[in-house]
Amino acid sequence: MANIATFLFQHDDTPNRVLYRQFIDNEWVDFKAREMIDLARSWQAFFRSMGLQPGDRVAICLKNSVHWVAFDQAAVAMGLVSVPLYVDDNASNIAYCIQDSGSRAVVVENDRIARNLLKENLKDVRILSIKSDIEKEADGVENANHVLKGLDKKLEPFELLDLEQNTLATICYTSGTSGRPKGVMLSHKNVIANVDSCFQLDIAKPEDVFLSFLPMSHMFERTGGYYLPLRVGAKVIYARGINQLPEDLATQAPTVLFAVPRIFEKFYGRIQASVKDSRFKRKAFEKLVDVGWRMEQGKGGIVDHFQLPLLRAKVAQPILERLGGRLRLAVVGGAALDSTIAKSFIAMGLPILHGYGMTEACPVISVNRPEGNVPESVGPALPNVEVMLGEQDELLARGPNIMLGYWQNEEATKTAIDADGWLHTGDVAEIKDKRIYIRGRIKDIMVLSNGEKFSPQDAEMAIIGDDVFEQIVLIGEGRPFIGMIAVTANSNEKELIKRANERLQHLPRYIRVRRIITTKEPWTVDNGLLTPTLKVKRLKVIEAFKDRINDLYAEGMGD
């Protein structure tokens, strides 16, 4: 028997423990365990007022917040199924997920989202808005705070059902880089097993402070930045937004961060920019990385032993102060991280643990450990997770964290999970010394017209390490050479091609960029070129630039 809401209710014995901090009305406000349980009780009163029964679905379209936690914990505690949605997604996608899941109610961030949803002709769905100016129900939208306040007299003790382990807990819609998203069905057992496996790694402690800024609708943040700290009783601070992230890091001084690689890529780019004009600063930073990494590998000598503390104090500490000065580790997932960047931060004294997973695995499959950290890999599999290589060296995973299947899509489920219970990740991998190395995607091998093959992801990851490139997509399928579409403020095509190819020196010589298409307009969720989890929709980008691509190859045929 199991229930995810045990993560919150266990703190009923420590009602004054501060679990969350959130920026409200221009000030930081702390929330204690008792306040969180009471807020969850309010949401349960709302669910009862609707007559919802175990198995009914309710959707969340909120920014990371205490209401996100309270709504989710209240729902799963009663056996309801929570359906997380992305605030930055377009209304059409949000509405599709609500209708596809059969959600009876949805709580949204503000009236703008609510009104956009109304235009999508949702059927039999109650829409509540958290940041609302609506006094009474207007055109099908309700002020969530008014609704909850009206139920104050109907509050009952927190209801926590003891559910069968395989009871459906949540439906998480995948990003949908091509086509409509699929609903991943995760059970209470799936979630608890994955959180417990992460807990066994001892990377989160009760005294830790997490800074949460990745969307909680993404299972990476939901497991690592929400369920795990709640499981151990650590404090979570909700960042105000990506634009305020540098300031929030500096002022809130977190000790643990779950992040995507781009955060550290940008920060590393700023470090490089700050030392490039000073030979002394550049040499000092290079010395720090060289000595620090050697020491981390246990290969340092006596001189290194004495040099490192000085280098970290004089060179690393001023840099790490910009991250708050207290970070003791960062876990990076969601995409590949350049090992050079990881090694640099590790050398400075900040362990970056590169991990790997997917929503279908709830999501963590593997992660590096602070001891024996190998940044080129995504670490060993979690406890209770088995991995092996299948045909074409595809990484397969099996364990109690693997999804029940796709919502109302039996055919896709059979494709993803074989008869022996192995989840087919679609990633090409290598396993050495129990560590997993991701080598590319099975379906994403690009074949040039001369028959040469390569993984565009490997090359793109190398190129994006240069901060001049904001976003890129390599092209060349069935073409005579490799081209690139790049979002960049720099319009000097020759310089950009040169810089891109400098980053590709470690790859076979035929993997070089010959032509480039530049644009200053970023690819976003709003213009349909990014998924809500900020993955580039490769096919959509290629379609958007198809005329310029055709011109590019027409011009280059004589090369």
Give the span between the Cα atoms of 224 and 222, in whole angstroms: 6
**Ranges of H-type helices in 352-492:** 410-416, 456-463
Residue range of the domain that includes 129: 6-163
Query: Given 163, 193, 220, which residue is the final one in a domain?
Result: 163
Task: Give me the pLDDT at residue 176, please.
Answer: 57
pLDDT band at 89 (very low <50, low <70, confident <90, very high): confident
CATH number at residue 31: 3.40.50.12780
Give the span between the Cα atoms of 526 and 532, in whole angstroms: 9
Give the distance from CA 170 to its chain's centroid. Answer: 17
Per the domain annotation, does 178 fall within a domain? no
CATH number at residue 498: 3.30.300.30
Greatest pairwise CA separation for the chain in angstroms: 78
Task: Give me the pLDDT at residue 559, please.
Answer: 58
Per the domain annotation, does 436 fall within a domain? no
Task: Give me the pLDDT at residue 442, please.
Answer: 80
Omega cis (within 30) before 318: no
pLDDT band at 205 (very low <50, low <70, confident <90, very high): very high
Give the span between the Cα atoms of 350 and 439, in whole angstroms: 26
Per the domain annotation, does 368 fall within a domain? no
Q: What percent of the chain has pLDDT over 90?
A: 77
Q: What tokens appear for 464 in the block?
A: 């994006």
- Asked if residues 509 and 148 have their Cβ atoms less than 8 Å apart, the reply is no
Q: What tokens appear for 1 in the block?
A: 């028997």
> In this predicted structure, which of 55-64, 335-344, 357-366, 427-436 has the lowest mean pLDDT?
335-344
Domain total in the chain:
2
Kindly report, residue by residue over 474-507, the tens digit of the pLDDT.
Answer: 999 888 899 999 999 998 999 999 999 999 988 8
Give the span between the Cα atoms of 366 and 382, in whole angstroms: 5
Give the distance from CA 423 to its chain's centroid. Answer: 20
Task: Give me the pLDDT at residue 17, please.
Answer: 97
Question: Of 385, 378, 330, 425, which Cα lies nearest the Cα of 197?
Answer: 385
Question: Of 266, 414, 385, 241, which Cα lies nearest the Cα of 332?
Answer: 266
- 3-state class (DSSP) for residue 158: coil
Per the domain annotation, does 272 fall within a domain? no
Give the span between the Cα atoms of 432 and 393, in whole angstroms: 13
The residue written with tokens 């937004």 in the block is 241
Q: How far is CA 421 from CA 242, 405, 413, 523, in A?
A: 39, 11, 11, 37
> In this predicted structure, which of 37-46, 135-144, 512-521 has the lowest mean pLDDT?
135-144
Is pLDDT of 320 > 70?
A: yes
Per the domain annotation, does 151 fall within a domain? yes
Q: How far is CA 42 from CA 81, 130, 147, 208, 477, in A?
A: 17, 14, 9, 28, 55
Helix axes 339-348 and 279-296, enclosed angle (nearest 10): 90
Give the span between the Cα atoms of 373 and 351, in whole angstroms: 8
Query: Given 112, 143, 163, which residue is the final one in a domain?
Result: 163
pLDDT band at 450 (very low <50, low <70, confident <90, very high): confident
Please give the span between the terminal C-alpha atoms of the chain, in angstroms, as a whole number.
67
Mean pLDDT for the chain overall: 93
Task: Give me the pLDDT at residue 179, please.
Answer: 62
Which residue(s) pair with 407 in the sheet? none
Query: Given 121, 141, 163, which residue is the final one in a domain?
Result: 163
- Asked if residues 155 and 139 have their Cβ atoms less than 8 Å apart, the reply is no
Is pLDDT of 521 > 80?
A: yes
Task: Give me the pLDDT at residue 252, please.
Answer: 97
pLDDT band at 81 (very low <50, low <70, confident <90, very high): very high
Give the span between the Cα atoms of 111 and 96, in whole angstroms: 19
Helix axes 261-275 and 339-348, enclosed angle (nearest 10): 70
| Phi, psi dihedral angles at 318 (to 5 degrees) | -60, -30
pLDDT band at 358 (very low <50, low <70, confident <90, very high): very high
Is pLDDT of 558 > 70?
A: no
